[in-house]
Amino acid sequence: MRRRTQSSLAIAACAFALAASLSPAANASSGHGNGHGNGHGKHGGKHGHHGPAQDYKRIGYFTQWGVYGRDFQVKDLDTSGTAAKLSHINYAFGNVSAEGKCFTGNVPGEADAWADYVRPLDAAGSVDGVADTDDQALAGNFNQLRELKAKHPGLKVMISLGGWGWSTHFSDAVRTPASRKALVSSCIDLYIKGNLPVDGTRGGDGAAAGLFDGIDIDWEWPGSAGDTDTVYRPEDKRNFTALVHEFRTQLDAYAKSQAKAEQKAGKGKHRPVKPKHYDLSAYVPASAEKIDAGFDVARIMKDFDFVNLQGYDFHVSGQATTAQQSALYAKKGDYSVDRTVRDWLKRGAPARKLVVGMPFYGQGWTGVTGGGDGLDQPATGPAQGTWGAGSEDYKALKKLADSGAYEVHRNVRDGSAWLFDGTTLWTYDDPQVLRTKTKYIRDHRLGGAMFWSLDGDTEDGELMTAVDRGLSSRR
């Protein structure tokens, strides 16, 4: 299994390499060896977003591998109250093969059909309280997400393709019009049409039909370096633009064919059947250099419904000096949420399509010297986290803050927070920081908030609640 850890924004190549090797993405035990930090619809229910600020997106990444060591199940999204506050769940991740096709199966490190749709859940672990049977075609995370959608009408689920560890073959797969068509067609067939490979009694044609409401492209990164084995080329920028358009074209065509079939079957006797709109999004970088290398912003934003901005891993624990990883504002020349937003806006992105990424984890250093509050000081290396070196879930950091062993420090002006005990420092977002960021989203009329990843929150969804309340405030 992989953990999806965001590519570092460290300037020096050596710092980047060190950060990548120490990040959770490169550490199987950390759970997210794939590449978003720690490592991206309205719905009913008592707290469904049908009132104020219902236009703001609340998008959380659910990690495929989190059901194992972390024991974070789809049902936890319901019992914590998080599902009632989300507009979208991005399922991380789907992979692209060396042949340029979306695929799944049971291939260690490459695909996990067992977690996706084969693994049976008992009644206690099921969203609807009913145990899976041996003969049902869909089980695992996919079936639980289907049950979650049934309980929370309007909640959307998207398949996120790639991530840090699975962006390897994107560049090869999109080099020609024919290869792009084949890739997109395979992804729609597997996830949108739900034609899953047969695995015993599981899978088959249409087994997951209707589960996914769109596709999130998580190519890290077109036109610039990502994970060590990820291919990139100068022409990626042009090819990525064409790939996005191909996804939009094929998704729309499939939606129209569905509507036509339903009309023919008599569903729309008294009025035409309206085609479903499938959302199309991407996870995109904070670095201006990476934006310019791989993203023709003005053109791709015409086809995207929204993009999820990198709002974390501005600095990572592989660097020799402590620093903020997700500040709203920063000194000139440093990375920040505000700088990222402005860089995308000035390249032609509409504000309403920009969704701000927020971390549900922290970056940590140990062996910190230099005194003071610990920030911007030399360190000997990454701090040890629960699932790997250098990264820790918010729920664990909250316990450190409450223990009295660490002091909570804040830069209210910059919108950042960190913990320091004199030796070890963790930079992270807590509810106070997230309230500041949601106000920024409202003030700048942005598209909403995205979270990597949902398993880092507390059992009662403390961070999700803070964001939900912040986005629901009057503008």
Tokens encoding 343: 């860089």
Name the helix (H) or strand (E) containing 425: strand 425-428
Describe the crossing of helices 431-443 and 337-346 by its angle, rounded to 10 degrees.
Answer: 20
* Nearest 10 degrees: Cα torsion 340, 297, 278, 6: -40
Reported residue count of the chain is 475
Active site residue 235: no
Contact 309, 340 (CB under 8 A): yes
- Alpha-carbon gap, residue 177 to 196, rounded angstroms: 25
Owner of token pair 């609807």: 128
DSSP state of 293: H
User: Residue 96 burial by CB count (10 A; 0-12/13-18/19+): exposed, middle or buried?
Assistant: buried
Residue of 467, 340, 40 whose CA lies nearest to 216: 40
Strand partners, 218: 162
* Nearest 10 degrees: Cα torsion 3, 4, 7, 10: -50
Q: Which of 147, 220, 246, 392 is catalytic?
A: 220
Name the helix (H) or strand (E) containing 185: helix 177-187
Task: State whether the Cα torsion 6-101-93-68 is positive or negative.
Answer: negative
In angstroms, what CA-CA distances link 10 with 289, 314, 407? Answer: 12, 7, 27
Which are the catalytic amino acids?
220
